[in-house]
Amino acid sequence: MHILQIPNTNAFANRNGYKPRYIIIHGTAGGSNAEAIAQYFKSTEGSSNPVSAHYVIGQDGEVVQCNSENDGAYANGVFSAGHDPWWNTSINPNNVTISIEHCKPAEDNSNVLTDAQKASSFQLITEICQRWNIPTRWADGDGGITGHFSIDPVNRSRCPGPYPWDELFAALTSTQKGNSSMVPNGWHDDGTTLTDKNGATFTGAVRTTILASNWDSNNTYIGARRLDQPGHGVLLEDGRWGSGDILFFASSAIAVAWHPDPALTGGQSLTNDTIIVPIGNELLWAHDIITANNRQIIDLQTQLNQANTHATDLQNQITALQQQLSQAQQTNGGLTQQQQQDLKSKIATLVSDAQALQAEFIK
Ligand SMILES: [Zn+2]
């Protein structure tokens, strides 16, 4: 981005050895032009109250740099009561921060950023975060981004005043390329093209949507398929969408469905070719089938156990009767012909029961 240089000496040289870990957002509470504010900073050199900021962004989006990022601009004053508790107050905050002023004509900083100002601010912050590896989130003890109010809530509670924080963090998330936490497991992103496990590729708005979904290891990938890339991916339920040519994949609660022809997508339009649809019913359907199968398995196991017990029981009876018969034969006529016949037929019945049970298992 184009940055005009209007340097001044109102800064700690080399940050007294520290590195920037924070970006501090400010509002000027007066003035609209970045160059004019930068000239004012310069005019305070050598005065009793020299002030500055690393950058000033005008309402027209112009960016002016007043101090090197290697130096600690005189921008943040001192800590006041009620400052965020994670600040290390033994270090001058100017030595660990990069300050960005936003021109706001209202003395109470009540102006919202202009579109041009917002665009410059987001781009500048993105570049600074990449340059110094500053965390792209609300500041905490490890670094990040916050307003002057975090350091001096007594005198600067309205600095910067309105600022599109949510939009900033969303923009930072979607421009962070190659961050593994946003690329679904097993997928690959080269900064332009996102490729899924099956080789289906996504670019543009669809890729941006996927990367902004905060994927993590708990996400479930169901499948993707595109009309213009036949054979790619798997549909959970082919045909459910009518034409069977939709990609959809799921986080824990939602799926993103996409179709090259927006006329076919229906539903809520996220971008001109992307919709997000709940897939609770799809998951429920799969869950019900698994649960039903599990119940059947348990029932069959119970039946098998019962049959095994029965088989053991029959075997024991057969053995006992066979022993009885053999003893009777050895006692030399101790049993009548009829009694022997009865025993033999009893054994035959039991054996046939056992065989029937065996056949039941095989079935
Ligand atoms: Zn401020």
Q: From the CA of 176, how far away is ligand 1's center (Å)?
A: 27
Range of the domain at 91: 4-175
147 C-alpha to center of ligand 1: Å?
Answer: 7
Q: Would you state the pLDDT for residue 274?
A: 41
What tokens were used for 310? 């029965």
What is the distance in A from the centroid of ligand 1 to the CA of 157?
9
Interval 89-142: pLDDT, tens = 999 999 999 999 999 999 999 999 999 999 999 999 999 988 888 888 999 988
What average pLDDT does this structure show over 265-279? 39
**Same domain, yes or no, for 52 and 151?**
yes
Q: How far is the CA of 55 from the centre of ligand 1 (A)?
A: 12
Which of 258, 278, 298 terminates a domain? The answer is: 278
What whole-number distance in Å separates Cα of residue 147 and Cα of residue 130? 19
Tell me the CA–centroid distance for residue 62 and ligand 1, in Å: 19
Residues 255 and 210 in one domain: yes
User: What confidence tens digit (pLDDT) does each residue in 145-164 have?
Assistant: 999 999 999 999 999 999 99
Q: How far is the CA of 99 from the centre of ligand 1 (A)?
A: 8
What is the pLDDT, as a whole number, of residue 277? 43
Both 85 and 214 in one domain: the answer is no
Same domain, 83 and 197: no
- CA of residue 193 to ligand 1 center, whole Å: 40
Directed axis angle between helix 165-175 and helix 204-211, to 10°?
110
In a domain, 140, yes or no: yes
What CATH number corresponds to the domain at position 161?
Answer: 3.40.80.10
Q: 204 CA distance to ligand 1 centroid (A)? A: 37
Per-residue pLDDT tens over the stretch 204-229: 666 766 666 544 433 444 444 443 34
What does the pLDDT read at residue 36? 97
Structure confidence by residue, pLDDT tens digits, 313-356: 888 888 888 888 787 777 655 667 777 788 788 888 888 887 77
Q: Of 210, 244, 278, which closes a domain?
A: 278
How confident is the model at residue 222, as a pLDDT? 45
CA of 72 to the centre of ligand 1 (A): 14
Note whether residue 114 is domain-resident: yes
Residue with tokens 């005009």: 4
Position 54 in a domain: yes
Last residue of a domain, one of 124, 149, 175: 175
- pLDDT tens for 154-190 read 999 999 999 999 999 988 876 654 343 456 656 777 7
Give which of 152, 153, 163 is closest to 75, Cα–Cα: 152
- Structural domains in the chain (count): 3
Query: Are 168 and 293 in the same domain?
Result: no
Give per-residue pLDDT as tens, 20-77: 999 999 999 999 999 999 999 999 999 999 999 999 999 999 999 999 999 999 999 8
Same domain, 143 and 257: no
Question: How far apart (Å, rounded) are the C-alpha atoms in residues 226 and 141?
Answer: 45
Contacts 24+ apart (CB under 8 A), 222-226: 222/248, 222/249, 222/250, 222/255, 222/279, 222/282, 223/198, 223/247, 223/248, 223/249, 224/196, 224/198, 224/200, 224/248, 224/249, 225/200, 226/200, 226/258, 226/260
User: Do 13 and 155 share a domain, yes or no?
Assistant: yes
